[in-house]
Structure 1
Amino acid sequence: MATESAEYVRVADHDDLVEEGRAVTTVEGQPMALFHHEGEIRAVNNRCPHMGFPLAKGTVEDGILTCHWHHARFELSCGDTFDPWADDVQTYPVEVRDGDVYVDPYPEPDEPPVEHWQNRLEAGLRDDLRLVIAKSVIGLLADDTDEHSSSSPGTSSRHVPYTDLVRIGLEFGTEYRADGWGPGLVILGAMANVYDDVRPEDRRRALYRGLLEVADDTSGEPPRFEQPTFSNPDLSKDRLKQWFRKTVEVRDDDGAERCLRTAVATLDPPEIAEILYAAGTDHVYLDSGHTLDFVNKALETLDHVGWEHAEQAVPTLVPRFTQARRSEEQSEWRQPIDLGELVFEFHGDLPDLLDARDAGGWEPQAGFVDRLLSDDPHDIVDAVRGAIRNGATAEQLASRVTFAAATRVVQFATTNEFNDWNTVHHTFSYCNGVHGGARRVDAPALYRGALHGAMSVYLDRFLNTPPAPIPDGDPDADPETIPEKLLETFDKEGEVDTAGRLVADYLAADGDPAALKATLGRGLLREDAGFHTLQHVEAGFEQFDLADDPDEASVYLMAPARYMAAHFPTRRSAEQTFTIAERLHQGERIHK
């Protein structure tokens, strides 16, 4: 806020101010409160930095200015706050000349605006302060309504690229959570992924939501202490992969971290991914699918901020492996049909299947997904084996399994218990994670992951009994009116089938998919959406963009629309806080 001219401006008569004790004025658009206290004249911005209440209505005692709205306290001479949730108040240099009081309305700032808001963001993360996080995001991305990858600070009205905020959240979330990579960082990565899909005015909301989740996830948690790398820099990928899998097998956190940290320091990113996915598929459907989903999101987050942050981020994934529940130990995977035995038999045969596969390439047959959705797990395994023999890549196989998982969501019967939405969601998010891994590296582990996903799709079959019909979509529908109807649907409880039908109608009538995703993003970000809902929408957007067939693509947007409708409306408390921050940023008087 410094200018080339630092000229002082007359603001009050000295004797009048001494007699009254305080005064209010405006200098070049800046509201100022003037105080005579303990023989000194002080000038501060009259807007409380917390929520804009006039500080001139506050109390001054013993050198402390107290705002009378939320009792934020400030050291009057320098403006520093006693309360981190309030921020420091701007002070102005004062001179008394010939009986008049002058102030410098444009003092040199203590720190540049970008540095200030970055520091405030870290304070908001540290103390889990929603309003501080919201104000910091808005301050750092002020007027960010254009592309996020162009200018640097000082060359446009936008301050920093969105990746700077993701980086700050990543660094904080990996350092201040002893239990490693958590749900908050998953959502931060997911919100970075949808950044370009939501409306320009919702982009700040997306990062705000991700950073809120990081703050909540780390609140009250002890910090993380790193294990060192091995001193031998010549360990091969195969040796580190072997060691990492063995340490995960016996749930040895420290040993596993040393292996993984050494791998990050010495190997290329695809090799790291291969090691992670191998350990993640040694057991079946780890932690209800969360382990591979978290791995995928960690790697995608590094795509945003750069692989140079892998040394800090990737080793924090270790607890996701060592603490994970192994599904072959769960009864539903063992009875009445021993799915664990089927899976491990497949694991044993996989090397030979890959060696003997047709090099000519594989095209999925018309009934392949129907087989994945069938009631016979043996036939599902046979279908996967046949696809591999015929040349299916891990990416192709994972794509088909992911579509089957999305179909389960679209055909989820609302006669089921509400919590069963989580079951079909976990399968879909897991399969999306496997598909993401398969697009990153073509490794045997991803074939195993695809089969694990297919078995979970099989277990979810009872949630499609009876199946909800997949709407065909009305090509004569009016796509101009559907977005608002969809948002109105989210304002009501239980409009699951209506939401799915509106999406089908919109796409059948040649509505703009980008506008539909923006509408879904708008509906998502105004709600207090939970971890699973935020995950689900991001995965649906990702798979929609990857789909070649229009009918399949529509399923990937119907799935999140139905899931959102099942979980909305909410209290919208996070949006209320963000709206307050926006109004304060625009100079509105919240107290009025």
Structure 2
Amino acid sequence: MVVENTEYVRVASLPDLEAEGQQVVNAGGRPVALFHHEGEVHAVDNRCPHMGFPLSRGTIDEGILTCHWHHARFELEAGDTFDLFADDLQTFPTEIRDDEIYLDPEPEPDVPPATRWRNRLADGLQENLSLVMAKSVIGLDDVAQSVVRDGEAVSSSRETQSASRTTTERSSGERSEPRDEEKEGFYTPLETAVNFGTKYRAMGWGRGLTTLGCMANLYDAVGGRDKRRAMFLGVHEVASESAGEPPRFQQYAFDNRDLSKERLKSWFRNTCEVRDGDGAERCLLTAIACLSPEDVAEVVFAAATDHRYMNAGHTLDFINTAFETVEHLGWDEHADTALASTVGQITDATRSEELSSWRQPVDIAGLCADANESLPDLVAAGDGKEWDEPEDFVETLLSDDAEAIIDALTGAIRDGATTTQLADVVARAATRRVAWFATNNEFRDWNTVHHTLTYADAVRRASEKTDATELYRACFDGAMSVYLDRFLNSPRAPVPEPGETDHAPEAIRERLLEAFDEQGQVNRAASLVSEHFDAGGDPEDLKRSLGRGLLREDANFHTLQNVETAFRRFETVDEEDEKRLALVACARYMAAHFPTRRSAEQTFSIATRLHRGERLHEVE
């Protein structure tokens, strides 16, 4: 007979299906399960949308199809799932003609793919479902790649993502139409997770959102598929930290919009000083509504440096990452939600001047306080001067004389050193603490030198957002943390010297990943990174290999931070030996913490195979 609708294809005989109850047919190259239930013919994708188990091996009862592996249940008519850990089931329209069954193998989707995957990402965040989040990130990236494959221009750079964005909803996890499909691989996971994490975690900006921001910063530096891994890891950490937490209720800005920067800065610092979180948040939201991003940064970083090295450096580091995440997403749409969520990092922070280590046996908190008081005179003296860094300045910061360190810093300011210059030299000293870390120390002391490095680099990065004089105080704090870490370099671990090698860069990178497969290969990993420089290898290839080594692991928060910081240090410094040292220190830290169980990589691999349509099971 002639079939009027040529989109439909014949797949089975109705009498045969009635007799057997179910059949598996091939339609458009995909296995489709046919069911005869309650007098109707139903056609569904035979692969369970959860993990691909054949649904023809499931059972139907009262219109509910149940997969026998993980017991995911689906409404048979339309394919809607009862269980969010699965997904809605693909169904196919059918027609009966002369006792023959026809179906449409390519039905139009109910929603565009980008919308579907964004909705599923929201489900994964809300339910803390790793596999759902991995599938969603992969699906969103595939949408972006399909735009490229169709010949349309796409950029994954931070600047393009931010500059070309359009207005979107600011509530979190809520479902909304995606804007431009080419942004889906980067922008949508970032935005959706930021909205979720700032709304559904009462404590506000913490480890999860900072991890997400770090992964966004790493995005351009890692390889193609590792970009997907980075975004999956980021959203997963947000969901994990938010799971079981009460929601956060954001405050409101003041109605008065005629407030000066000086007034808002004073109010914000005063409310933070007395740990008044609600009052501080209202001041900050008003500042965001009234002031430029540069002025808001001055207000926030001034308060973040009113006390010494708060929360072991995490306070300033987390706040800086929040600012950078807003840069990715767009200031006008996301500054209020993201930055307001950081207030607790200041008001609830441990202040290091309250710790005995900052008071005894040397009162380094007092030294910092004295230096802070002299800042107006120092800055005035240095006005118009250009600082010429002494050759031994870094070694001075690495010495065991706290007063000499403070004197060197104050002298640099008097000679015209900017906050960026001073923060950078402190970060160079902190890099050496990691590179020289002696493995005869307790394992947890890796975190101590790591905290100093990430803090010092965060200060430098903050100095690019504001030229606030208060950031000099953070330079003093960072230098004193470098001072406190000095015993962790006793003795100094050897750092590989530049030399010659006969090995090809590709082989060296392979050996580096192999070193990460074994515990304790700290010095070997450092040597291989140094050798890659000796071989003239492209540092961008080396960074991609380090990124690969990082993202295949169940890396802890500090390791993720450490790699992101090292990559930023590499981009910041000009000298070849400083670039080399940044990645050597990073490789040592990574090797000390690898390998792990790689359970997240298993989840990501399953999601990738399912997205490709591969079989996870031999039966069909």
Please state which band the TM-score falls in when normalised by the shorter chain. over 0.9
Q: How does 1:276-315 map to 2 (within 5 A)?
A: 276-308=300-332, 309-315=334-340
How much does 1:427 deviate? 0.4
**Stretch deviating more after TM superposition (484-493 or 326-335):** 484-493
Equivalent of 1:409 in 409, 421, 434: 434
Residue 250 of structure 2 aligns to which amino acid in structure 1? E
Q: How does 1:170-569 map to 2 (within 5 A)?
A: 170-308=194-332, 309-478=334-503, 479-569=505-595
How much does 1:523 deviate? 0.2
Residue 25 of structure 1 aligns to a residue in which SS? strand
Residue 480 of structure 1 aligns to a residue in which SS? helix
* TM-score (norm. length: structure 2): 0.92
Residue 195 of structure 1 aligns to a residue in which SS? helix
Q: Is the 8 A contact 2:193 2:238 kept in 1?
A: yes
Q: Is the 8 A contact 1:473 1:506 kept in 2?
A: no
**Number of aligned positions between the proteins:** 588
How much does 1:77 deviate? 0.8
With over 3 angstroms needed to count, the CA separation of the structure-2 counterparts of 1:196 and 1:273, relative to structure 1, is same
Kindly provide the CA deviation profile for residues 449-498 of structure 1, in whole angstroms up to 9, marking residues without a partner as x: 11100000000000001111221132335233210111111111111111
Q: How does 1:150-189 map to 2 (within 5 A)?
A: 160-189=184-213
Structure 1, unpaired ranges of 5+: none
* Aligned sequence identity (%): 56
Residue 315 of structure 1 aligns to which amino acid in structure 2? A
Q: Is the 8 A contact 1:17 1:35 kept in 2?
A: yes
How much does 1:540 deviate? 0.2
Q: Is the 8 A contact 2:114 2:178 kept in 1?
A: no
Structure 1 residue aligned with 2:122:
122
Distance 2:180 2:112 in 1: 15
Distance 2:252 2:261 in 1: 18
Residue 24 of structure 1 aligns to a residue in which SS? strand
How much does 1:510 deviate? 1.8
Kindly provide the CA deviation profile for residues 168-195 of structure 1, in whole angstroms up to 9, marking residues without a partner as x: 1111111111111011111111111111
Structure 1 residue aligned with 2:12:
12
Q: Is the 8 A contact 1:233 1:266 kept in 2?
A: yes
Distance 1:508 1:376 in 2: 36
Distance 1:148 1:354 in 2: 40
* TM-score (norm. length: structure 1): 0.97
CA RMSD of aligned residues (A): 1.8
Structure 1 residue aligned with 2:173:
none
**Stretch deviating more after TM superposition (105-114 or 560-569):** 105-114
How much does 1:225 deviate? 0.5
Q: How does 1:93-172 map to 2 (within 5 A)?
A: 93-142=93-142, 144=145, 147-148=155-156, 160-172=184-196
Distance 2:95 2:315 in 1: 63
**Stretch deviating more after TM superposition (113-122 or 225-234):** 225-234
With over 3 angstroms needed to count, the CA separation of the structure-2 counterparts of 1:502 and 1:260, relative to structure 1, is same
Q: Is the 8 A contact 1:164 1:305 kept in 2?
A: no
Kindly provide the CA deviation profile for residues 26-78 of structure 1, in whole angstroms up to 9, marking residues without a partner as x: 11112211111111111111111011111111111111101112111101111
Structure 2 residue aligned with 1:92:
92
Distance 1:432 1:508 in 2: 26
Residue 108 of structure 1 aligns to a residue in which SS? coil
Kindly provide the CA deviation profile for residues 64-108 of structure 1, in whole angstroms up to 9, marking residues without a partner as x: 101112111101111000110100001111221221112122222
With over 3 angstroms needed to count, the CA separation of the structure-2 counterparts of 1:381 and 1:168, relative to structure 1, is same
Distance 2:7 2:594 in 1: 55
With over 3 angstroms needed to count, the CA separation of the structure-2 counterparts of 1:210 and 1:282, relative to structure 1, is same
Structure 2, unpaired ranges of 5+: 149-153, 165-176
Kindly provide the CA deviation profile for residues 279-336 of structure 1, in whole angstroms up to 9, marking residues without a partner as x: 0110000000000000110011111111121011110001100110000000000000
Distance 2:204 2:140 in 1: 27
Q: Is the 8 A contact 2:399 2:483 kept in 1?
A: yes
Q: How does 1:51-90 map to 2 (within 5 A)?
A: 51-90=51-90
Structure 1 residue aligned with 2:167:
none
Distance 1:16 1:154 in 2: 45
Kindly provide the CA deviation profile for residues 482-541 of structure 1, in whole angstroms up to 9, marking residues without a partner as x: 101111111111111111111112113322100110010000000000000000000000
Distance 2:178 2:351 in 1: 52
Structure 1 residue aligned with 2:598:
572
